[in-house]
Structures are given as structure tokens and as C-alpha cells.
Structure 1
Amino acid sequence: MEKLNYQPSTAPLCILFEDADLLVVDKPSGLLSVPGKAAEHADCLETRLRDEYPDALLVHRLDMDTSGVMVFARNKPAQRHLGLQFEKRQMRKTYHAIVAGLVQGETGLIDLPLIVDWPNRPLQKVDFKMGKPAQTEWRVLSRNHNSTYVELSPKTGRSHQLRVHMLAIGHPILGDRFYGDARVVASMDRLALHASMLRFRHPTGGAWCEFTAKVPF
């Protein structure tokens, strides 16, 4: 794996929604959600957001290469409320992706346990003995001559889950520098994975909220 050349976009933040409890943001691909360990990886969505909203509190993350909807809390009770929804799998998440090859069938469920690949961290791998349960529903939206546009709905929230699951069924996500071969990496200038929808209960009152971010590819 090549060393990361971290040069995130400097475009203004795209705030999808804000109120006294929430900040909903459309994270660009190529920007870390939280600071990395190296000094040159300090720039991230969390620190940029806090420059404008000092009360912003992290609730969840997206992979650096993944774009799309992220929610931040603006107070501790809201952070706990949202965190519990993630923990109890009450959040509803939808992703869109372009994968290599022509996916057979129209819908399906990938049920493959995942574990960190320790010698190759941060990579993950399928492990039927030690892996934690991981499920992803998929649906074909359209097909090109050598790729498929799919909607992905993770039922669990394992690290790199969608990337590893699609690889495991023979259809890596285009532009995936972690799990794709040279042709897959060269096929797009970014990872073709976008968190397009996030649905959850509002921390105050409990009403369902749904936020979407336009797919950029």
C-alpha cells in the first residue's frame, strides 16, 4: 500500500442542517473525519467544523475516502442519545457505490464476519472463526458495460464493511486504493462510495429525521 499523500479539499463545509442539538454535514471524499496520528494529518472534518461551531461533538465517522452525510451533536445529552442509536443499530444508513463488474441478481444480503487484518492495519478481512457479525443489503440500480451502480444498506457498522463485503463477492468498489487491484484503483479518481442518507430520531422529542446528500459521481 502506498504512503498516503494527504491533500484534502479546501472547499467550504457543506452544512445540510443545524439546530440546537445537531449539525449535519456532507463530508467530502479525501478528508479525514477525525485527526490522524501524524502531525500532517491533523486537518479533518471535526477540527474544521469546530472552527465554525466550537460546540460540535463527534458521534460517528466515515472513512477518509468516503463522502456523504455525517451527524455531529452540539451538546452532551444529544451526543449520548445519538451514540446509543448507533450502538443499538437504530440508525438507518444508505450508501451508493459503483462496483467493478456486472453484479448478478437484483438484490441480496452479504452476511460475512469481519476482523482487523492485524499485519496490514487498517485493512479488514473476512474471518469465520474470529470475525464479528457483519451484514450488508445490496440492490442494483443500473449496469454499465463493465460496472454496476448499487445501493448498499449496512445492518452493522464494522470498519470498511462495505468495501470488504463487495470485494468478497467479487465486485470491489471502483477507486478503492485499499482493496482494489491496479485497474480498480485507476478506474476513478476517488473511492466510488457515498453515504447518501442517514435517518435517526431527533435527540429532543424523538421525531424521525432523514437527511440526504447528493451522490457526486
Structure 2
Amino acid sequence: MRPEFPPYSPPPATGLPLVQIDEDYLVLDKPAGLLSVPGRGSDKADCLASRVQRAFPEALTVHRLDMETSGLIVMARNPEAHRGLSAHFEERRVFKRYLAVVAGNFNTSRGTVDLPLITDWPNRPLQKVDHETGKPSCTHFCVVSSGGASGTSRVELEPVTGRSHQLRVHMMAIAHPILGDKLYAPADWRLAAPRLLLHAERLAFPHPRTGSLCEFHSPAPF
């Protein structure tokens, strides 16, 4: 069944969550509940990109985070930087690491989820594992803590590919759905947190002009 969503209610605009201002790029710490780019309809015009462009009209979107996901995101400040950063993403020269709180305890400290994903078209925007038509999708995980009385674990997730909802579907597929996930988690775990407990905590990429390594860290707010 195609999911039904409540009306879009973005967090208040209380100032740009700027982490770094460079002549070629901006790094921001997107709050949970805010779209990265405008959605369909005038009611979804408020987003990180539009807020940033009010202060930096030249800012260009390079990549996105899910609305429910918080954390680090980079925008370009000129066409040359946009081409360079976009190429870094396409050629997998960008390091991204997320922190998530997931259901259940692990009996291993690290591993890899290698499951092909495709849009569940009748139920879009849901994604699903499909071994026949899915696109290759790979996520490395490292367990930070597990085995507590809460029955949850904290894990670091490193996506090799960048499919839509990849981390959420991969964790669900190995029976460790992310807490607060309204799309994929069973009801008990969906209601176990007031938001999706997924945060883009580390971002590193070569500078689009100089090639020097740019590294950023944002501690998870949960």
C-alpha cells in the first residue's frame, strides 16, 4: 500500500545551520524534517536549498538527504565548483558516514549489506530489494554499541552507493530497522522515537578547485 503522509511541517527557520563557508562551497547541518530541495506543490517550497539561496543566491544543490534525515550536506557556490563536486559524488570520491539507532542487538561488530534496490513503483516513494531488476547497492556498517536493555544498537553506516532510502531499506532488510522510520520500521520501532534516528555525521571530499581534502563532523543530536 502506498504510504500516506501528514502535511509537510518543516522546522522553523531560526538561522542557517552553516558549518563552513568557502568561496566554492557551503557545508550545512540540515535539521530533521526539512526537505533538501523543493517538493511537489507550493506547500513544499520551504526547504534547505530555498533558505540557503535567500542568503547565498548563487548556491547550487549537489546532493540530498532524506527529509527525515539530519546532518551534513554540501552546496556549490559557482558552476565550476558544482561540476567538480558532482563529479566527486559520481566517481565515489566523497566519504559519507551516518550514525543510526536501530532495532535489535548484533552478534557481529561489522559487516556489509549488498542488496540491489529499486523503486516499489505502485507504492512509491518506497524502495525495495529486487535481485532481478534492482540497482547494485552496498552499505558497510560498524556497531558502536549493542546489547543493552533497550534492545537497540548504535551503528555507523557508510554507503558505497547512493540509492534513495538505501540505508533505511538495507537496515530493514537485515532485521534492524532504524528507530522512528515511518516508511519501513514495524509499528513498535516506528513509534519508539519522535524522529528518524539517522544522522549524516561525517562528510569528506576533495576541494573542487584545489583538490585538498575537506573534512567535517557533526555529532548526532540523539
What TM-score, normalized to structure 2? 0.96
For 2:80, the aligned partner's letter is: P
Asked if 1:104 corresponds to 2:107, the answer is yes
Distance in 1 (CA, whole Å) between partners of 2:193 and 2:15 is 23
Question: Residue 84 of structure 2 aligns with which residue?
Answer: 81
- State the Cα deviation string for residues 20-51 of structure 1 (Å, max 9, x = none): 10100000000000001021111000000001
Distance in 2 (CA, whole Å) between partners of 1:64 and 1:87 is 22
Gaps of 5+ in 2: none
Question: Residue 60 of structure 1 aligns with which residue?
Answer: 63
Asked if 1:170 corresponds to 2:175, the answer is yes
Kindly indicate whether the alpha-carbon contact (under 8 Å) linking 2:84 and 2:209 is maintained by their aligned counterparts in 1.
Answer: no
Q: 2:121 aligns with which of 110, 118, 122?
A: 118
For 1:2, the aligned partner's letter is: E
Question: Residue 185 of structure 1 aligns with which residue?
Answer: 190
Distance in 1 (CA, whole Å) between partners of 2:177 and 2:107 is 14
Question: Residue 2 of structure 1 aligns with which residue?
Answer: 4
Residue-pair matches, total = 217
Distance in 2 (CA, whole Å) between partners of 1:15 and 1:46 is 12
Q: How far apart are 1:103 and its partner, in Å? A: 1.9
- State the Cα deviation string for residues 57-108 of structure 1 (Å, max 9, x = none): 0000000000000000000000000000110111100000000111220000
What SS does structure 1 have at the residue aligned with 2:177? coil
What SS does structure 1 have at the residue aligned with 2:112? strand
Q: How do 1:1-217 residues align onto structure 2 when only pairs under 5 Å count?
A: 1-10=3-12, 11-143=14-146, 144-145=148-149, 146-217=151-222
Q: How far apart are 1:2 and its partner, in Å? A: 3.0
- State the Cα deviation string for residues 156-187 of structure 1 (Å, max 9, x = none): 00000000000000000000000012111110
Q: Which runs of 4+ in 1 moved over 6 A?
A: none
Distance in 2 (CA, whole Å) between partners of 1:86 and 1:175 is 28
Distance in 2 (CA, whole Å) between partners of 1:34 and 1:128 is 30
Q: How far apart are 1:214 and its partner, in Å? A: 1.6
RMSD: 0.8
Percent of paired sites with the same residue: 53
For 1:3, the aligned partner's letter is: F
What SS does structure 1 have at the residue aligned with 2:61? coil
